[in-house]
Amino acid sequence: MAVDGKKWIRRFHPADEAPVRLACLPHAGGAASYFFPVSKALSPAVEVLAVQYPGRQDRRADPCIENLAELADLTAEALAPATDRPLALFGHSMGATLAYEVALRLEERGTAPVALFVSGRRAPSRHRAETVHERSDEGLVEELRRLSGTDTQMLDDPDILELVLPALRADYRAIETHRARPGLRVSCPVHALTGDADPKATPDEVQDWQHHTTGAFTMSVFPGGHFYLNDHQQEIAKIISSALVYGAPLGSV
């Protein structure tokens, strides 16, 4: 399939000499710009590629994708040219499951990622019956307030909500209707990160990511809820750079 990489990939801090790349995949309703601070923190040792899904920000005119497998196919295709250097994946929430699916696809192409960082998401085998995507607009906003991932003042602006809710609903439909293919594992090391008070993923549910890799598994638990990483960006950047730049075991700081 033909995918326009310029539409899908943002390089906020190009680093042509970096020995490794990190592709970052946003949460439901999120956008590539969420990872600007991560890109700044890791550059120039690691070149960060932030994935921009259709239907938001500068891709608002592109149809949203409501099927996670299709989104994984397209994302893997968009990232394929970046595998000329070692490539790791980082995904938060929906982006974690998507990163896992993308890793499987890249491995099938013979370009397995060197590491997979999964944040704020229970393991694919730990299914919950969730139907947020079927709620009214008010119900979607209520979910955003519950997770505290969006500026509350923004949620009171009807013009902004009109722009963000279609992508948010599509993303929730994609992740809530997705079922992982049983028995598949990535071969790269997996490092799971989570908040100790995340209502969407308990530490026990996150721990089960260990069953989705044949490589090493480590886990870091931070104080906080679903968007714990907003308050721990430096620590997370240090974990990533320690693993990707200095070859330290995942989780070492």
Residues marked active site are found at: 93, 226
Token pair 């397209």 in the structure block, residue: 74
Q: What are phi and psi of 113, to 5 degrees?
A: -65, 160
Cα(79)–Cα(155) distance, integer angstroms: 33
Characterize 115-154 residue by residue with b for buried, 16 or more Cβ atoms within 10 angstroms of its Cβ, and e for exposed: bbbbbbbbbbebeeeeebbeeeeeebbebbeebebbeeee
Q: CB–CB of 114/88 below 8 Å?
A: yes
Residue 182 is encoded by which pair of tokens?
């049983």
Strand order in the sheet with 9-10: 9-10, 46-51, 20-25, 87-92, 115-119, 190-195, 217-222
Cα(220)–Cα(185) distance, integer angstroms: 20
Token pair 């259709």 in the structure block, residue: 54
